[in-house]
A and B are shown apart, each in its own frame.
Chain A
Amino acid sequence: NKSSQLSSLPLQILLYVNGVYYIFYFLATLAMIIYKSQVFSYPDDFLAPDLAVLFLMAILEVPRLYLGFKGNLTEAEAPLGLSLGLTVGSVVLCVYLLLWQTYVLWADVLLNAVLLSAYGLESGLKVTAIAAFVS
């Protein structure tokens, strides 16, 4: 019976696609940072924060997706709320990579914009799901 299932299917699909896309995003951004460090003048003081942000985002992504999956499937609002909180952190880091990186290439803009829109859509769906679980 469809009405008894509160888990959101679009959210599940989006989380799955987000996971796959994130792997591609991480490798592409890392490769571009390496490319930038070879082609442009990229001193170590500027390279370190950019790499730190990228790796921090990768570390945040794993629990964020796991909690999202778990919360949606078990119809529990606590993990989903926690995942939403981690999404806020990921959004901040994504905005950093979009605007305040040392060199922002056009490919960077595209990748980060797609990721940001995915986060935004996910957050909306999570809020809807939490509302459905709570009520």
Chain B
Amino acid sequence: PVETPDGAQARARSLPAPVTDVAKLCVCDLLVAQCDTNCCCDPDCGAEDFSLFTACSVPVVTGDSQLCSQKAAVYSLDVEANPPERIFKLIDQVNPSIFCIHATNYKQALYLKSPEIPTPENFDRLLDKFGGSTFSAEPDSWNLDTDAQNPPDTNETYRYEYGAPVHTEDAFLRLPSPVVSSWCSDANPAGFLVNQATKCIRSVSVEKCDSIQALSMLFYINSSILASAFQVNITVQSIVVQSQNGMRTLLNSSDVLRLPMVLDGLCINAVLGVNYHITHTDTGEIIEAAAAFVLGAISKETLSIEQSFEISFTQENTQPVPLSGNPGYVVGLPVRAGFRPQGYPFPAAFSSSNKHSQLTILQSTSTQDCLAAQGARAPVLFGYNMISGCKLRITAAMKCQPLAQTLLDVLKGQSFPEYVASFGNSQAQDVLDWVPITQLHISEQMISNPLQSSCQIPVSLGIEVKWTKYGSLVNPQARIVNVTATITTSTLKQLPSGRERIIPVTSSVVFTDISSPAEPGYKAWPTINIKLPFDFFYPFV
């Protein structure tokens, strides 16, 4: 039979009616025209199938339990009978609550809403509403709400806490980032003290060069950040222009605002990356904001570009040193170390910003040759016990003292630090926050004959870091208490010429938790403070 186009269209315009009869509803009936195991409500099952069931997976099918009285289909297996048979009962379930629904005049109250069928008339509207990668249940009211919440009270002093969105005049400081897919979403606010780096893709075209806001520098520095009592303008720190082949050049003058424009079929001055640097005080007030831009050109064939955004927060008058925890060490972050400054014990700063003063350990290489692998070092990460090593080939021609010195260099590295920060965020100025590294020497073999001048070469370095849990019981912070570096030396026996020996050299780092068990701390008992009036004992006193 040939269907008329009208008939097909009419059928396509409405979905099939929902099934509401509890006797016909079956959620375990998954296989079409076949009997599902242990599904007592399946109409495809016959009496022989029921006799093989062990239990009913769906015992009751009922509508909304909020109704005062409703029909319920109860399925059960009568195992006493031989063979077991299914019992089907249609009962009236009564809700005894006084707030049960007696009747409802709103058809969609108890059922899910049927979705709209797209027709040529409502297609555009539906595409606008649902065509994107995300859509919310009530888009219009939602947008209105966020706009209403945004205009902040300018009389308030803005002291930010960690993670709080950074307020600007009209909304928040935005850091475009990929949300569901890789496409940029401009609604991501930057959190205070949350250093972020994001990359996302934006669809562009040369025709819309000056109309796409996110390609223009103004979009990123337009609004000023609300800080306490005044607004901080975002200044342009530097502009780097990236050419078509990827070469970047730093512009001398960063005062001129370069807006995107079309030149020779290219859209130049399009923003490819923004790097925000926010300076704040130690009380959480923002005092400075700067943005460094990377501008590039978009050609006619480019349909999308990747933009990268970064934001970093620095406290004023400090060097931006990457913290390994705040305040306790975070497992996996490098242990911060430094050197005692000249003129100690006078208060001065420990130098830890120098990368070479990190606590490092020998890194095993594929050749496993100690002498060839000088220089390959791995940073010591908090909480990660590491062991590494290499093999040393000793020939008869090698002299003891230079060999011992070389091995010491291999084990300890070029600049072995003297102090280790006890907290992840220890500042270089706080001398009490730094723990000295204790150096021990152990000789592997006891020299039985003191007259025999033997050569001692270091064969292993063991760093033991003792740490403890510090602070409250629910949020303990890791604190390094003691660091001991033990060099084990061994006697080098003189080899007959022509022979060679291979000795293993190892270095290890061990983290030991020496925290004492937590003591509960209670608040002080309230004290009763009674003072009698001065004339209480009048007239006797």
Contacts and interface: CB of A to CB of B under 8 A. Distances in A.
Contacts of A109: 102
A102 interface: yes
Interface of A: 32, 35, 40-42, 46, 99-110
B67 to A, nearest CB: 10
Nearest to B112: A41
Interface in B75-118: 97-106, 108-109
B58 interface: no
Interface in B231-280: none
B104 A35 contact: no
21 contacts: A40-B101, A41-B108, A42-B106, A46-B106, A99-B103, A100-B105, A102-B105, A103-B101, A103-B106, A103-B109, A104-B101, A104-B104, A104-B105, A105-B98, A105-B100, A105-B101, A105-B102, A106-B68, A106-B100, A106-B102, A110-B98
B164 to A, nearest CB: 30
A103 B103 CA distance: 6
A102 B99 contact: no
A101 B105 CA distance: 7
Contact of A106 (B98, B104, B109): B98
A107 B68 CA distance: 11
Contacts of A41: 108-109
Given A100-B105, A104-B101, 14 more contacts: A32-B99, A40-B66, A40-B109, A41-B108, A41-B109, A42-B106, A102-B104, A103-B109, A104-B102, A104-B105, A106-B98, A106-B99, A106-B102, A109-B102
A103 B104 contact: yes
Contacts of A100: 105
Contacts of B100: 105-106
B172 to A, nearest CB: 30
A41 B106 CA distance: 10
Residue of B66, B98, B102 contacting most chain A CB atoms (<10 Å): B102
Contacts of A105: 98-102
Nearest to B69: A106
A102 B106 contact: yes
B27 to A, nearest CB: 22
Contacts of B66: 40
A95 to B, nearest CB: 13
Contacts of B108: 41
A101 B68 CA distance: 16
Contact of B102 (A35, A42, A108): A108
Interface in B27-62: none
Contacts of A110: 98
B98 A107 contact: yes
A103 B101 CA distance: 7
B102 A102 contact: no
A104 B103 contact: yes
A45 to B, nearest CB: 10
Contacts of A99: 103
Contacts of B103: 99, 104
A35 to B, nearest CB: 7
A70 B375 CA distance: 106
Residue picked from A41, A100, A103, most chain B C-beta under 10 Å: A103
A110 B100 CA distance: 12
A76 B103 CA distance: 42
B424 to A, nearest CB: 46
Nearest to A99: B103
A108 B102 CA distance: 9
A12 B109 CA distance: 43
B50 to A, nearest CB: 38
Contacts of B102: 104-106, 108-109
Nearest to B64: A40
Contacts of B99: 32, 35, 105-107
Interface string B158-193: 000000000000000000000000000000000000
